Amino acid sequence: MKIGITGSRGFIGSHIADLMRTKKSVQIFSFDRPRQDMLDAAQLAAFVKGKDVIVHAAAVNRGTDTEVVAGTVVATHNLITAVLRLKKKPKIIFLSSVQAETDSLYGKAKLLSEAMLEDYARTYKAPVAVFRLANVFGEGCRPFYNSVVATFCYNLARGEKLAVNPSDKKFSFVYVKDVAALVAKEIGAKRAKPFFFKRIVPKQALTITELAALLTRFAKLPNARGLKSKFEKELFATCRSYAQ
């Protein structure tokens, strides 16, 4: 099976690529900046050719309005256009975000990308799966970018106290290795309908104050013994990875 991954060097994409490389009879093909550009039609045409599955993990969530729209909406449009030229259309797995439920420009870009892919799937009876993910955390996530977990873990590893603005708002978090496993399962899934959508938002939610307290405690623990929940063990593993 030939699997193409856009953004395979990014946080989520790299975990997916690493997991898929452990599978037998799988070939991984990457599409990453700066060598490759999703605004380049010729590069995309060459990339999608002959693939069985395309995992679309690339996106731009920081920068100017033009950069965000181009890196998310235009990139997704170009991917669809490239696939439309193929006789045998690969399955597309798109990683969206709960930001699609907000009024942020990035959220609107993700929502529009979801809509374009749903229209493509229903119109051409081509397989598409969209996963709208809660806040993703885990080993290798860049601090001071778009993950509060990564930023807190990075600061704690350097002995810094966490600056927290108290708020009652709660957030759900999903572990990056669980996302990779979800995508790996979807790659082999056979579905009756061309379009599949799933919102991946765990019921367990924390305020930022509660998250900071958990991570501060975990930073002092020698090991994960005594931690009972899967979520706590995943947070501990993430926290420990920034101390290495």
Boundaries of every domain in the chain: 2-241
pLDDT of residue 244: 67
Residue 130 to residues 36, 150, 200, 222, 243: CA-CA distances in angstroms?
A: 23, 25, 10, 39, 34
**Strands 128-133, 135-137: pairing kind:** unpaired
- Tokens of residue 93, six digits: 């797995």
Tens digits of residue pLDDT in 78-130: 999 999 999 999 999 999 999 999 999 999 999 999 999 999 999 999 999 99
pLDDT of residue 165: 85
Helices (H) and strands (E) in the chain, counts: 9, 9
Cα–Cα distance, 89 to 227 (Å, whole number): 45
Whether the Cβ atoms of residue 128 and residue 118 lie closer than 8 Å to each other: yes
Cα–Cα distance, 106 to 153 (Å, whole number): 25
* Average pLDDT score over the chain: 95
Tens digits of residue pLDDT in 34-85: 899 999 999 999 999 999 999 999 999 889 999 999 999 999 999 999 999 9
pLDDT(145) > 90: no
* Amino acid code (one letter) for 229: S
Confirm or reject CATH 3.40.50.720 for domain 2-241, answering yes or no.
Answer: yes
The whole-model pTM stands at 0.95
